[in-house]
Structures are given as structure tokens and as C-alpha cells.
Chain A
Amino acid sequence: MILNVADNIVSPLGFTSDENWAAVLRGDSALALHEGELGVPEPFFGGTFDNLRIDERFAKIVETGKVKPHRPTKFEKIAILSAENAIKQANIDPTTPDVRFVISTTKGNVELLDNPNGYDYSRLYLWSSAKIITEFFGNVNEPVIVSNACISGCVAQIVAERLLLHDRCRYVVVIGADVLSKFVVSGFQSFKSLSPELCRPFDAERCGLNLGEAAATIVYARSDDSVAGHSVVGLEASAICNDANHISAPSRTGEGQLAALEEIRRYAPKSYSQAAFVSAHGTATRYNDDMESVALERAGMSNIPVNSLKGYFGHTLGAAGVLEAVISKYELTEKMVLKTKGTENIGTVSLVNVVMDNLELADSNSFIKIISGFGGSNAALLFSNMKGENYG
């Protein structure tokens, strides 16, 4: 078990985890219609930052950087902003070799391909951005960079778990970040994956996803570490499983997702059986939501409350697994499962108990996070509450 010592979300809904949690409790959404933006001819619904607000926020912390980045990109700025606040809260010294950074992203600075804007070509390499981020915090270790499509944010947390359990370091700073660009939006449009309206996860009438931008950070430590003293929620079990079926479509029978769920059940049967809810991927594409419903039913979880956070933030790609783990941590500790915003009539091939109105929980021992993505990837994470009624 590794514990979430501190976390932070930077999204269009706010610059701290608390701000983001307050916003989603109110039912706010980052999603809006964008016409003629990013150089994409077709309009799209998405959750995008007000870039001026990022610049304002970044200006306030740039002087604290051990190495001040030269012309940081938007991607680098939001990643640094999210990590700066989390590291401060965790009260750890990121310059010590005891701290490792794990960075999750799908496309980093890819928009520089369209317009180099005076940047060197090398800035397109993910390790180049990662260096700027770790140097800002004066960290001497080589960061681990995860690029595993949409499940990257969850894989990054699994890497953190392994680094800590193998005693490779004392703290892991997991950062997930992605920004929207002509590249990413047009690509999803070419896949006919984007909804022409606000997304409706698990809805019978759902017709695609909305993309979003965000950065989220979680600082993890071993549960027996003193720094973790005040924190309560941790990652208890995890699994990744490839469908071995298709590179862009999930298995219709949910094979990979089911195998990942079975693996975390084997590892932590008690917390698994007491899970209060499932935080699904729920992108609102036909295939993804059907696949998740099938996997959950096959895992015997047709009755467990399930929600998707995509109606609040959109699909934030490399940030999604981290951001959603943080919001769901709040759901668990505040005993309130958020409604699946945008959904009216549930309609998936298998029965799934989608949360339609904010739901108060009687107990809050654990929750399960599931996620899937291109390349046939699936992951399942089990988060437990050490202060939960039945923990241990």
C-alpha cells in the first residue's frame, strides 16, 4: 500500500484540488463549444484553459524554480503548477535523491510540430519537457516518463507503487498532464470519436467524447512512512492488462478490463469486495462504455454505483488517470459519489448502476478506478481508506 500524501489538480475548473472538488460538487463543467479555435475547421466541445490565467498563476511561482525555465510551454507550465502546489502541501524537499518524478502524458508539446514558434525541434521529445519540469524542482533523478495512451495516468501511479515497494526512493511525485491542440482534436475527429454535443457517458443516446486539458499531481509515500501520517487514502492494488484484440477498439467482451479487475481482487479481496463505487473511464463513446458495462457485469459488479467524471472535465488524456483518482479520493472521504453529468437514460449492452444524482455513501472503505485506451490497454486500481470503518 502506498499513500496519497498530497495532491493537486490544475484544470479549467480551478487551480487546486479543493477548488476543483468544490466546482464539481456544484455541478460545474469545463466543457464548452469551441468554434474556429486551435486551427480546427470543425467546431468541437471541449474543456480548455483560459491561457491568461495560466500565465498569471505561473508568474507567481516562476521565481521559486531552482532552474527557471526558458519560455516554458503551456504543457510544461500546467505540469509545474500542479506539482508545485502538491509538493508544497506534502512538505517534502524535491531536491533530495529520495524523490522520484513520474510523468504521464500522451502528446506533450506536439503542437510545436504545427507551429515551432521559435522552439528547437528537441522540445518535441517528451524527455525534454520532463527535464524542464524536474529541473524546476531541482530534482537530480532521471524522471520516469509514461506514454501509454489514455491509461498513462494510472500506469504512472502503478510505477510509483513499484518504485516505493522496491525501496528505490522515499517519495514519488506523479504528474499527469496534456493540453489540446489541432493535432489531438483533428485526430479524434478523424476517428469520429468526438460528440457534436456535451458528452453523455453510459447514456443510450451517447455519441462520443469531449476532450479536456488538465494537469494533476499526487505525491505518494509508503504507508509506513512518517510523512504519510496525516493522509488516509492509498493505492492498495493495481493491474494492467492488454486485450490483445485491436489497436483502436476495446474488446467487446471486456477481456482485458475483466482480467485487470480479477487481478486486483486476488491481491486485496477484502477491500475489493467492500468497494463503495467504481470510478469508470466512461468516455461516452459507444464502444468504450459498452465494454466497461460488460467487464463490470462479468466481474459481478452490476449493482455497485458507477460514475464517470468526463462530463465535468472531458477526457483529459494523460492527466485523466491522475485527476480522476484525486476527485474520487474526495468522493470516498467526503462520502459523496458524484452524478455522471450529462447522462439521462442509461443504455449499455450490460446492466450497470450508473450514478444519476449525487449519492451519499454509508461507508467509505475503498473504490475502484478503471481506465482503457488505444493499444488495447486497460488498468484497474484499488484505492483504500485507512480510516475506513472496516480497514485492516
Chain B
Amino acid sequence: MGKKILSYCRITDDKVILNGNLVLSNNNSDLNHWITDIYDYTKLSYPKFHKMDRLSKVGVLAAEMVMSESGFDNDNLKRDWALCCMNSSASLDDDEAYQKTIQNAEEFYPAPSLFVYTLPNIVLGEIAIRHKLRCESSFYVCEKFSADAIYNAIEDVYLCESVRYVMGGWLEVGREGCDILLFVIEESDNGNLQDFSIENLRNLYLKK
């Protein structure tokens, strides 16, 4: 038995890679259109999606792909899970959007639907709702992608005996664009799966 990577999804500004396969390429769309392209690709029909901020949108799409690739439905309540993600800019992309609604004293209309997304852990809330993950969820901030930091945080999550699966990774949407690596880990003896290790995480992140 060891911890294995059940499936993973890599989303950057120009491509979507799912379990090592290039599944979608960006034809010069800006970030908002690129997100819509990915939404269309997943054939997801989820009205709530349109209300989300960009970080939640991309996170929810990545989660949709890794969950379906690993064979999980989104109907059953899941308790023996944990969510553990990180990024660099927290919710700065949304902070800027909300700030615009309060910048001028004459046009001062603070927008609750923007304010609610000015916390980076909201994306995990959205993923938890979508997949009925009633489990631990925690969000951390780290200057740059760090396979070590993600690996260690998830190893620490497994100190809880009740945890069997972890959905974790790097969820960054901001000035530098979109940079996502999301994966599902399970304690398994399936030798065909990649080990959950720092080196493998680093490779998944760097693989072109």
C-alpha cells in the first residue's frame, strides 16, 4: 500500500492536460473565453458556474475532470476525503474586481457577489458543494509553486485517520494568468498508478 495519484489535471493559459493527454488547446482566447472553452469541453451544465469568480471556475472545471477520470460521481456524500490546495496570489484577482466597486466615493456600490470571492478558500467551498465533499478543506498561500510544500501539507492531512482520498494541488489565477495542477490521491496497492511523491508532482507540473 502507498499513496497513488489517481488522476490529475493541468491547466495553463494555452492547454489542458488530463492524465498526461493533451485534451484542449487555446487558440488565442483571452482568459475569460478560454475558461468558457474549457467549460464547453467538459460538457458541464451547472448554472451556478456563471456566477463564480475565475479562480472558482477554473478550480471547479479541473475538479470536474479529475473526479470523472477517477470514476467518482457527484451525487453521493463523501466524508473520507480532504481538500488541500495552495496558490501565490490568494484572491488578488477578485480583490481588484471588488475594489473597483468601492474605489470612487461617487460610485460607491460594494458588490456582495464579488466580495464573497475575495477569499481563496471559496474555490474549495465550490468544489465541495459540487461533489458533496463534506470533509476537511484548507487553503494555503505560497510564493511559488512548491511540490515540497504541497506534498508535505497533504502528508500532514493524512495524520487524520479518517482520510482516504485527498484532492489537492496548485490553483493560481491572477496577473500571471492561469496555472493549475489538481489531482486526487488515494491509498492504494494498484501498481499501475503513479506514486504520490515530490518528484512526480514536480514532473506533472513541469511536463509540457
Q: How far is the CA of A191 from the CA of B129 in the complex (A)?
A: 21
Contact A244:B134 (CB < 8 A) given known A148-B121, A186-B102? yes
Are A376 and B156 interface neighbours, CB within 8 A? Answer: no
Among A125, A142, A183, A263, point to the contact of B162 (Cβ < 8 A): A263
CB 8 Å contact bits of A354-392 with B (1 = contact, 0 = none): 000000000000000000001111000000000000000
Query: Does B79 reach chain A (CB closer than 8 Å)?
Result: yes
Query: Does A330 reach chain B (CB closer than 8 Å)?
Result: no
Are B92 and A124 interface neighbours, CB within 8 A? Answer: yes
Are A259 and B138 interface neighbours, CB within 8 A? Answer: no
Are B142 and A374 interface neighbours, CB within 8 A? Answer: no
- Interface 9-mer from B34-42, B106-114, B188-196: B106-114
Q: Which of B185-203 contact A (CB under 8 A)?
A: none
Query: Does A247 reach chain B (CB closer than 8 Å)?
Result: yes
- Interface 9-mer from A90-98, A157-165, A307-315: A157-165
CB 8 Å contact bits of A98-130 with B (1 = contact, 0 = none): 000000001110100110000000001111001
| CB closest residue in chain A, given B113 | A190
Contact A189:B110 (CB < 8 A) given known A114-B103, A124-B95, A374-B116? yes
Q: How far is the CA of A298 from the CA of B133 in the complex (A)?
A: 21
Among B112, B120, B159, point to the contact of A162 (Cβ < 8 A): B159
Interface range for B: 35 or more
- Min C-beta distance of A131 to chain B, whole Å: 8
Are B126 and A247 interface neighbours, CB within 8 A? Answer: yes
Q: Which residues from chain B contact A131 at a C-beta distance below 8 Å?
A: 143
Q: How far is the CA of A263 from the CA of B124 in the complex (A)?
A: 20
- Of the candidates A110, A125, A187, A255, the one having the most CB atoms from chain B within 10 angstroms of its own CB is A187
Are A241 and B129 interface neighbours, CB within 8 A? Answer: no
Q: Which residues from chain B contact A320 at a C-beta distance below 8 Å?
A: none
Q: How far is the CA of A111 from the CA of B104 in the complex (A)?
A: 14
Interface range for A: 35 or more
Query: Does B179 reach chain A (CB closer than 8 Å)?
Result: no
Are A259 and B134 interface neighbours, CB within 8 A? Answer: yes
Among B131, B138, B149, point to the contact of A142 (Cβ < 8 A): B149
| CB closest residue in chain B, given A108 | B90
Query: Does B155 reach chain A (CB closer than 8 Å)?
Result: yes
CB 8 Å contact bits of B150-161 with A (1 = contact, 0 = none): 001101110110
Are A113 and B115 interface neighbours, CB within 8 A? Answer: no
Contact A142:B125 (CB < 8 A) given known A124-B92, A241-B136, A247-B116? no
| Number of interchain pairs (Cβ within 8 Å) | 154
Contact A248:B134 (CB < 8 A) given known A145-B141, A162-B156, A375-B125? no
Query: Does B122 reach chain A (CB closer than 8 Å)?
Result: yes
Query: Does A53 reach chain B (CB closer than 8 Å)?
Result: no
| CB closest residue in chain B, given A243 | B134
| CB closest residue in chain A, given B78 | A244
Are B122 and A166 interface neighbours, CB within 8 A? Answer: no
Are B99 and A114 interface neighbours, CB within 8 A? Answer: yes
Q: Which residues from chain B contact A163 at a C-beta distance below 8 Å?
A: 156
Are A259 and B79 interface neighbours, CB within 8 A? Answer: yes
Query: Does A86 reach chain B (CB closer than 8 Å)?
Result: no
Q: How far is the CA of A191 from the CA of B120 in the complex (A)?
A: 18
Q: Which residues from chain A contact B111 at a C-beta distance below 8 Å?
A: 190
Are B116 and A248 interface neighbours, CB within 8 A? Answer: yes
Query: Does B206 reach chain A (CB closer than 8 Å)?
Result: no
Are A125 and B137 interface neighbours, CB within 8 A? Answer: no
Among A39, A240, A263, point to the contact of B138 (Cβ < 8 A): A240
Q: How far is the CA of A142 from the CA of B145 in the complex (A)?
A: 13
Are B96 and A113 interface neighbours, CB within 8 A? Answer: yes
Query: Does B7 reach chain A (CB closer than 8 Å)?
Result: no
Are B156 and A241 interface neighbours, CB within 8 A? Answer: no
Q: Which residues from chain B contact A3 at a C-beta distance below 8 Å?
A: none
Query: Does B128 reach chain A (CB closer than 8 Å)?
Result: yes
Query: Does B19 reach chain A (CB closer than 8 Å)?
Result: no
Query: Does A342 reach chain B (CB closer than 8 Å)?
Result: no
Contact sample, A vs B, 6 pairs, CB 8 Å cutoff: A142-B142, A149-B119, A190-B110, A242-B83, A259-B79, A375-B125
Q: What 6 A-B pairs have minimum CB-CB distances, sorted nearest first?
A: A375-B125, A187-B115, A162-B156, A190-B110, A145-B141, A244-B128
B-contacting residues of A (Cβ < 8 Å)? 39, 41, 106-108, 110, 113-114, 124-127, 130-131, 142, 144-149, 155, 158-159, 162-163, 165-166, 168, 182-183, 186-187, 189-191, 239-248, 255-256, 259, 263, 374-377
A-contacting residues of B (Cβ < 8 Å)? 77, 79, 83, 88-92, 95-96, 98-99, 102-103, 105, 108, 110-112, 115-116, 118-122, 124-126, 128-129, 131-143, 146, 149, 152-153, 155-157, 159-160, 162
User: Can you name 6 extra interface pairs (CB under 8 A) apart from A127-B142, A145-B142, A244-B129?
Assistant: A146-B139, A147-B139, A162-B156, A186-B110, A242-B136, A244-B135
